[in-house]
Amino acid sequence: MTEKFGATSTTDNVLSGVDLRGKRILVTGVSAGLGVETARSLAARGASVIGAARDLEKAKGAIAEARRDAAAAGGSIDLISLDLASLASVRACADQLQEQGQPLDVIIANAGVMATPFGKTADGFETQFGTNHLGHFVLVNRLASLISSGGRVIALASSGHRFADVDLDDPGFERTPYEPFFAYGRSKTANILFAVAFDQRHRARGVRAAAVHPGGIQTELARHMDQGQMTELLGRINCELAAQGKEPFQFKTIPQGAATSVWAAVVASAEDIGGRYCENCHVSEVVADDVVITPVSEGVRRYALDAASADALWRKSEEMVGESF
């Protein structure tokens, strides 16, 4: 990597001069926000993007302009149905792509939910763990044989992983009081650990995996938070920043938020990012679990990169979905 990017870099900055013609990339969650921008920026450099979404009509409208940009560059965006909260839908999506038999260069596991009220997926899993982790766990593993040597899997995680480590003894909150952000933290830690475990299993054949944190962005992801909760959260963050003599927090734009995803997917060195956690278009530093950091500071907790924990999560996930990979 010769050019340095950072928190304010956009997808267009990161992909300037990059030619993705001939590349086939799957992006989940292309009906809004980061997913749409991720698909747009890649297809505008000539990539053939498969955009997965639960609501295809909404996705069709969301990517209409992106499709025009893609066509002008020789790229394309095609849609496929995917509801990550239903393993039947996940398996049907994977089966459809397997039947097409075309290789994939990159999978960007972008879709997800945040801070939802307590609920369960179609298969009885806690909503956030089931959607954010288990849905992608099954999808990516069922498509692993299609990923070409030199390919990558990028899992969208979050600094929210610092809210909680995974709890493999009680993943469904059957004995633990449910708290929306605590559950979100568990699912985002799981996203990072999945990238670690997938990278361990596939690096020998030239396929690498990494987790990325897009940063704080105002998207539909926050739809389960009311304005009062958002105001309280921002107030707490800004008080912590002020105590450190720092400027108030500012949200990233959507193109800035999607930049780390595309950077890790097609720009960064595979060896640099493999099995790592990235933010602001670089590999993040590991921060000890007992070190106090603000919600908007950089850094990944050590527990989220622990190889033994990643392997244990993999085995527990196989048990939960009833499928071995």
Distance of CA 32 to the CA centre of its chain: 14
Kindly state whether residue 111 falls inside one of the protein's structural domains.
yes
Q: Let me know if residue 6 belongs to a domain.
A: no
Q: What pLDDT is attached to residue 294?
A: 65
- Phi/psi at 317 (nearest 5 deg)? -65, -40
Instruction: Please state at what angle helix 33-43 crosses helix 64-73, rounded to 10 degrees.
Output: 20
The residues that are catalytic are 184
Q: What does pTM read for this prediction? A: 0.92
Alpha helices in 9-160, H assignment, sequence order = 11-14, 33-43, 56-62, 64-73, 87-100, 127-128, 136-143
pLDDT at 218: 73
In a domain, 189, yes or no: yes
Instruction: Give the pLDDT confidence score for residue 288 in this predicted structure.
Output: 85
Query: Is residue 112 domain-resident?
Result: yes
Contact 309, 166 (CB under 8 A): yes
Exposure string over 91-105, b if 16+ CB within 10 A, otherwise e:
eebbeebeeeeeebb
Residue 259, in any domain of the structure: yes
In a domain, 278, yes or no: yes
Q: Could you tell me the CATH number of the domain that includes residue 237?
A: 3.40.50.720
Which domain, by its residues, includes 158? 11-321
Which residues have a Cβ under 8 Å from the Cβ of 99 and sit 6 or more positions away?
A: none
Task: Judge whether 109 lies within some domain.
Answer: yes
- Domain tally, the chain: 1
Model pLDDT, residue 243: 72
Name the nearest CA neighbour of 145 among 98, 200, 81, 204: 98
Residue 101 sits at φ, ψ, to 5 deg, of: 70, 15
Sequential pLDDT tens for the chain (325 residues): 446 899 999 999 999 999 999 999 999 999 999 999 999 999 999 999 999 999 999 999 999 999 998 999 999 999 999 999 999 999 999 999 999 999 999 999 999 999 999 999 999 999 999 999 999 999 999 999 999 999 999 999 999 999 999 999 999 999 999 999 999 999 999 999 999 999 999 999 999 999 999 998 875 555 555 667 667 766 776 676 677 677 776 789 999 999 999 999 999 999 999 999 999 999 999 998 887 776 667 899 999 999 999 999 999 999 999 999 9
What is the structure's pLDDT at 229?
63
Instruction: Give pLDDT, residue 2.
Output: 47
- Please tell me the predicted confidence (pLDDT) of residue 1: 43
Residue where the block lists tokens 């959507």: 254
- As given in the structure block, the two tokens for residue 322 are 């009833």
Query: Angle of helix 136-143 relative to helix 180-202, nearest 10 degrees?
Result: 10
Does 129 reside within a domain?
Answer: yes
Q: What are φ and ψ of residue 13, in 5° steps?
A: -60, -50
Pick from 178, 179, 196, 80: nearest CA to 137: 196
Which backbone phi and psi does 272 adopt, to 5 degrees? -70, -40
